[in-house]
Amino acid sequence: MNWPLFFRAFLASAWRVKFRIAAIFIVVTVIAVLNTVFERPKYKTDWVVLLPGTERGSTINLDNLGEARSSGKNAYGSVSISPKNTYKEIALSDAVIQRAAKAYSVPANAFSKPRIRLIDQTPAMQFSLKGRSPEELTHRAELYNTVFHSVLDELRTNEIERHYQGVEGNLSEAKKRLRAAREAIVEYQNNGNILSDGQFQTWLTDAEQLRTEQSRAEVELASQSAKLEAELRQLGISPAQAQALLLPQANPTTRSALQALAETQAKESSMREVYGAQNPMRRQVSKELTGIRNALANNLTNIPDLNTLDRSQLYGLLSEDLSGTLQSINQQLATIEGTKARIQVLVKQRELYSERIKSHTREAANLSDLKRNHQIAEAIFSSALAKLDTSRLDIYATYPLTQLLTEPGGTIKRDRLQAKLIIVALFMVFGLLSLAVILADVRQCLMSDLNFTERNKEQ
């Protein structure tokens, strides 16, 4: 195809039909002006709804049960589900449109749906509605926004109630389990000898305390015995002899004889240095000394444990100088006997506690298992109870809270989009008609040239 020739023909045809094109332009312009002048005005209103979507948490303290915490996830935490898209689908759903149309007293198909734009990188949704008058548009926008939020509230309430019913069913099961665990403990306590874990633990503590006291008493006995043995070894007597020595010391006659013996011995010793053996005074003193010794020997013969001691040692032990020592030794003997008796009592008590613990160990273990089951049941019950209370706290878990950034009908603008589209359409019609006129002229010219060529060939 010869394009330069076509374009020259096209421009020539456009010049030939310029008046027709001008007429078409005038007609299109008149139509556009008339449409602009006589068009019914339309209005539109925009309002913005925000979905904050922040995380929320709550804590409930239950007396004697513990603490329960509830936290809501961020509504924008999922990459697959966006609350803005969910809210857009809800806002454009038949449930909202039909309810709004019913409240507006028009059929559902006569209530125009709003245009919703989701603003990227923000939690904002922009709603747009169009109407014939500002008053009608404001009323319809407010009505639609009210219906939309009432549907959201119903969805939230329905979700909470359904969740509440499910948790209430779990709470009933948990309550039955807790009651069964408590009854099992009561029945076991009625049929057994152990009423609580603390009772068995007290037995263990008492047994350990008895063992500790027994060990301490044995250490004390060993210390006391060592000290007593050292003192007895120093005096050269046995424990029985130390006890037997208390009898003559407690006898006034023996004590007087011992005092007389000491005085006579001292007198006889002093006279030995001055008088000879045949001196009558010295012989008299010696005779008195022998008589005192014989009398003491007769008094001490009735005490068996003292027969094995030498007379001089026995008289020395019975002297006033060693009376305090003998009393201390006998006090130690009494203390040792008391310690031994205490150890025997502790040993018997330990045996009783050991036997009691061995015979009730399995019973205590069973009771502990029952208590543990009861604690588990109580924890499950408290958790279900806490969920029952906290299930009503976070009502915006699935359907986040909404906030109005701008009120519906707060800003109303003249809608000139339709007029602009009509003008653009008219000018497109003008272009197409002009093109059709020019192409028709080009075709007519080409047909004329073709007919002229054919006639020349025939001639």
pLDDT in tens, 76-110: 545 456 788 889 999 999 889 999 988 888 888 88
Q: Are 159 and 71 in contact (CB under 8 A)?
A: no
State whether the Cα torsion 420-423-425-427 is positive or negative: negative
- Tokens 């008391």 sit on residue: 338
Q: Which residue has the higher pLDDT, 438 or 266?
A: 438
Classify the C-alpha dihedral 84-85-90-91 as positive or negative: positive
- From CA 237, how far away is CA 92, in angstroms rounded? 117
* Range scoring the smallest mean pLDDT among 66-70, 319-323, 413-417: 66-70
Confidence of residue 354 (pLDDT cuts 50, 70, 90): confident
Q: Give Cα 8 distance to the centre of its chain.
A: 89
Specify the pLDDT at position 231.
80
**Out of 47-51, 157-161, 374-378, 402-406, which region has the weakest mean confidence (pLDDT)?**
374-378
d(CA 390, CA 59): 8
Cβ contacts of residue 230 below 8 Å, gap of 6+?
none
Amino acid code (one letter) for 433: L
pLDDT for position 145: 92
The pLDDT assigned to 148 comes to: 92
73 secondary structure, DSSP code: P
Among 156, 91, 164, residue whose Cα is nearest residue 401: 156
- The residue among 358, 441, 402, 375 whose CA lies nearest residue 83 is 402
Strands 403-404 and 43-50, sheet pairing: antiparallel
Report the C-alpha gap between 294 and 316 in whole angstroms.
Answer: 16
Residue with tokens 């966006």: 82
* Dihedral pair phi/psi, residue 286, rounded to 5°: -65, -40
Place of tokens 């020592």: 325
| pLDDT the model gives residue 127 | 92
pLDDT tens figures, 235-279: 777 777 777 766 666 556 566 666 666 666 666 667 766 666 667
pLDDT (0 to 100) of residue 280: 72
Which residues lie closer than 8 Å to 31 by C-beta, 6 or more apart?
A: 426
- What was the pLDDT predicted at 295? 63
Q: Please report the pLDDT score of residue 79 as a whole number.
A: 47
Contact call for residues 420 and 428 (beta carbons, < 8 A): no
More confident residue, 161 or 106: 106
| 8 A C-beta contact, residue 332 and residue 228 | yes
Q: Which residue has the higher pLDDT, 91 or 421?
A: 91
Q: Which H or E run includes 410?
A: none
Give 150's pLDDT tier (boundaries 50, 70, 90). very high
Task: Give the total residue count for the chain.
Answer: 459
Q: How far apart are CA 324 and CA 307, in angstroms?
A: 22
Residue 281's pLDDT band (cuts 50, 70, 90): confident
**Residue appearing with tokens 């028709």:** 440
Return the structure tokens found at 182: 């408590």
Copy the structure tokens of residue 270: 């002093």
What is the enclosing helix (H) or strand (E) of 416? none
pLDDT at 250 (0 to 100): 56
End-to-end CA distance of the chain: 28
Rounded distance, CA 318 to CA 289, Å? 17
Identify the residue with better confidence: 271 or 337.
337
Q: With beta carbons less than 8 A apart as the criterion, state whether 24 and 435 touch.
A: no
The CA-CA-CA angle for residues 399, 400, 403, to 5°, reads: 130
- CA–CA separation, 59 vs 384, rounded Å? 14
pLDDT at residue 436 is higher than 80: yes
Angle at 279 between CA 277 and CA 280, to 5 degrees: 130
Query: Alpha-carbon distance 300 to 294, whole Å?
Result: 10
pLDDT at 428: 87
Kindly state the average pLDDT of the residues 22-31. 82
